[in-house]
Amino acid sequence: MDKREIILDSAIKLFSTKGFEGTSVREIAKEAEVNVAMINYYFLSKEKLFESVVEYKASFLKGVFNELINKNTLSPIEKIDIIIDHIIERKFCNREFYHLLHRELSLEHRPQLRDAISDILLKNMIPVKAIIQNGINEGVFRSVDIELTLTTVIGTIHYLLTSDTMCRKLLGKKKDFNPFNNKKLKERLSLHTKQLMRAHLLKK
């Protein structure tokens, strides 16, 4: 990895565990084994570094979703299945980071950072919207509200995984139940969300 990637990986680690407010540029520099001047050179400020971290983390899904658009060997609903699995996998594997993102999105005192995060995340939805629209154009999907369809998928996954406590209580599990280490829950959530989208999108 080059220095920029090392800084990004160090920032992800610290932001995820200590939050945006609790992490200093000096701490990131120490973790990355670089000086503060190098972080300022690449990213200008802690806010811009955080934006770059979000862009860095989001780029994987953006690439996967863009590749799916023109993959003619897959049906529109198969593409939606793959999208759902990738979103769920990222949520399970990067729980602290996604919790941090949603905390930042809910805050009012850093509006520029909040807007930047929103813009980055919404870029990932552009290819997904195109896949749904293509399915409608091909006559495979019903004519649905595409934006609200996306909120249904993301909201279903996010609501369940926002809080360990909420998840346990919703599912009627004991206190020692850890949703993020539970393969059966991941499979259950995947199956449910796919069934939901099939019922919503496919013509009968």
Do both 34 and 62 map to the same domain? no
* pLDDT score for 131: 97
Do both 72 and 7 map to the same domain? no
Do both 39 and 55 map to the same domain? no
Do both 135 and 194 map to the same domain? yes
* pLDDT score for 1: 66
* pLDDT score for 190: 97
Nearest to 154 by CA among 196, 112, 182: 196
Do both 91 and 174 map to the same domain? yes
Given a cut of 90, whether residue 200 has pLDDT beyond it is yes
Do both 40 and 110 map to the same domain? no
Do both 85 and 25 map to the same domain? no
* pLDDT score for 96: 82
Nearest to 193 by CA among 204, 203, 201: 201
* pLDDT score for 104: 82
pLDDT, tens digit, 9 for 90 and up, residues 31-76? 999 999 999 999 999 999 999 999 988 888 889 999 999 899 999 9
CB 156 within 8 A of CB 71: no
Do both 39 and 122 map to the same domain? no
pLDDT, tens digit, 9 for 90 and up, residues 87-146? 999 989 888 888 888 888 887 778 888 888 889 889 999 999 999 999 999 999 999 999
What is the domain range of residue 11? Answer: 1-44
* pLDDT score for 201: 98
| Reported confidence tier of residue 204, pLDDT bands at 50, 70, 90 | confident
17 Cβ contact partners less than 8 Å away, ≥ 6 residues apart: 96
CATH for 65: 1.10.357.10
Do both 83 and 22 map to the same domain? no
* pLDDT score for 117: 87
Inter-axis angle of helices 76-93 and 46-69, to 10 degrees? 150
Do both 87 and 181 map to the same domain? yes
Inter-axis angle of helices 146-161 and 183-201, to 10 degrees? 160
Q: Number of structural domains, the chain?
A: 2
Do both 113 and 69 map to the same domain? yes
CA pseudo-torsion sign 144, 146, 148, 153 = positive
CATH for 25: 1.10.10.60
Do both 65 and 159 map to the same domain? yes
* pLDDT score for 98: 82
Quote the tokens at residue 145: 């509200």
**Greater confidence, 107 or 158?**
158
